[in-house]
Each structure stands twice: as C-alpha cells, then as structure tokens.
Structure 1
C-alpha cells in the first residue's frame, strides 16, 4: 500500500519538480482509466488509484506549465498472460460475473500509447486536459479474449468460468490474517487480491470514438507473442504460465 503513494504520487511529483527545474513547459502524466473509482470514492477503490488521483489534483494546481493527464484503459500484456497455457491445452480462465458475463476492455499497445503521449505535446487541444485512452478495438470481454486466443493458436476454444465470489473469500482470509498478525506482507497480499478483483469486475472500456487510438489490434498482438514470446504483467497473470507466476513471486520478495 505504501508503495502506491511512494511511486504513483511522490515519485511522479519528484519528476514534475525535476522537469520544472530543467525548464519544461508541458508535463504529461501517465495516469489510469480506473482512477475514476477513486474520484467516485467507490468502496472498492484501490490505494494506487487514490495516489494517482491526488497527483492529478496536484498537477492541476500548477500555474507555471501546462499539462496533459492520460488515462489508458489497460495494456496488452495485462490481457495476455494465458496464451502459453492455452497453447499447452489448458482452458482459458475467466471470472464469471453471473450468466456467463465478464469484464470488458479495449486495451492499447505500448507503441500506440507512446505515440499518443507524444501527440499530447503537439496537440493544443490536449493541453490542460484529461484524455481517457483506449486502443482501436471494440470492447472485448474476458470470454471473448479467450476465444480470440484460441483462434490465433488454431485451437478449439475451451474456457473455464470462475465465480467472482472466490476473490472475496481470499481477500477476507488474507486481510484477517494481516490484522491478526500485524503483517505488512499479508496486507500487501490482500491488496493484490483487491487489485485482481477490481479488474475482474470493472470494464476498462472507452466508448467515445475520440478516446480510441492507434492501429495495433489485440489479435495482432496475440499473433506476435505467439511467435516471439512476451513480457508479463505480474498482477494480472494469475492463471498464466510458470514465467508469469515467477514474475509475480518476484514482486513479493522486493
């Protein structure tokens, strides 16, 4: 939890101060689409969302430079962790919100995101503004992502729906143990559980055409990593390969 404010608030503020000292006239902040939950003070809002919200507010207070706040929906690597296990014959696991429904998103590739960040510098309409940013795809549910992975791999789609309530059981157990033993490590584990639950239930989806950007589709990304391999998002690759699991475990030893 404390890392959220150390990185998403204080480290970003340090960057802002350094940019100002170097003579920068415009500052681009990479925030997150999900900060809207902290703005609404949703009961399930996460610590890093509050940290980013506080930094956004701090940035808006500046009067000696202009700014752009960019809130991407999700990165491709956040929805790619199961490709290898599906290729090995395992089912694609998704979180069932009821009646087969699952969270929907239109993620953006890292090259397209980088191009968008550069565009904000030259585009006058982006100055002193917030930009919700998704990729070029229509929204894809977790179930549709699983079907897309199978299609790219040339396999029959096999999916396994996990009831979303399993998160509540895990989070409550971890939080209870953290409170009982006053354990910061267990507290962090409970927060990781909340992060997983959040992205399992919340749509990360831009609906305004002006908020869809780029050319690289999720299918094209899956086709590339099926050949070249990939980096893993350790916080969203819960059901991924051994490499994805190892990346997550590495975050727990820091």
Structure 2
C-alpha cells in the first residue's frame, strides 16, 4: 500500500476516513480532528492524566521495550500533567501526516508516547514510535453521544529489510474513547490497551483543553527519526 498524495485543498485525513459519520461528532471534536494541511492549523492539548495504569508485573518488560521507542510506557500514576500535540506536515515521502505526541513528567522521568498518522486509500494508518517501526490500521467511529471511538486493528512491523504482520496474539489492541464535556468545557479521553490472551496491558484516562495555532509543518522535535515507506 502507498499513502495518498497530498492535496492542499483536501479535508483532513480523519474526515476522509470517517466520511459522513464525521458530521456526527461533537463540533469540538470535529474541529480537533480536522487538523490537517488543508485547514492549516495545529491543535495543542494541555491537561491531566487522572490515572495511568498498567497490567500485572509481568507486563513491565513488554512495556519497557516499548518505552525505548516511545511506543508504550511502564509508569503508573495519578493526576499527571500532560500535553498532546497534533501538527500536520508533509513527510519526506510526500504524504500528509499528523502528529499525535503525548508528553508527561512522572516522578522525575520525562515520557513520550509518539504516533504519526497518514491516509492510505481513505483509511488511517498509525505509525507508532520514534522510528515508525509499527504500522497499525485504525477504525474510527462516532458514538451516539458525538464521541470518537478509535480501535486498532492489523499491525505490521518494519525494520530495515524485515517486514511482517504482527500476530495480534503477541501484541496489544487499543480502544480509545474521546468526548467533549460541554459543562466542563474540556475534552475527556480514555485509552485501554489489551492483549487477547494476557488481558490488560496499559491505559490512561484524563482530560485536556485545546488551543489552535496556524501550522503547515510540525516542529522537528515531534517528527519521527525516520519515515517508513511501507504501510
């Protein structure tokens, strides 16, 4: 598969992927997920992870490996300040890309959970980590209350000449729910990563508020070290 070439007048990759269902999202979620080169805006969220959790002790080695490339994190905590930065940019392969970089400090450790998303044939592929080693297909839907429900599907691992479909038995599947609370004036998010055999691996829940700024490129600090051509 190859990424869709960039069209500066095109709707965001999320609007394209969801089609008419995008209009069912809460208006604030529509604005947040309309981040793209066509709109020329970035969205920066600042808030609190009210709870960061992980699975039993034997999940820690798995999470520590993910930490090395900013894919998963082994920490737990409550009321942890964090930011999420969504910037659109054109990657070196000519693909419109949106960053989803979450950063937080916990017990003196700076942690990041990096993701970059592209459009592939009208669907969203999520590259995880600093080197885009893991490509994940995403399903995006609106729930009955205007919230966004994101689930991960097939996963592929790429490193140099190595390429293989990652067996879901040995990987985590993500379920993310995001909604807008009108009364509080903020976004709320809940993420759970589970394994079909081993159960719960990692998750967090929290809230954040957003600001928007003009942007047609992402800061280098948010871009991956390398961009993977294969999807």
TM-score category (smaller protein): under 0.3
Higher helix share goes to which structure?
1
Higher strand share goes to which structure?
2
Computing the radius of gyration over CA atoms, which structure comes out larger, 1 or 2? Answer: 1
TM-score with structure 2 length normalisation?
A: 0.24
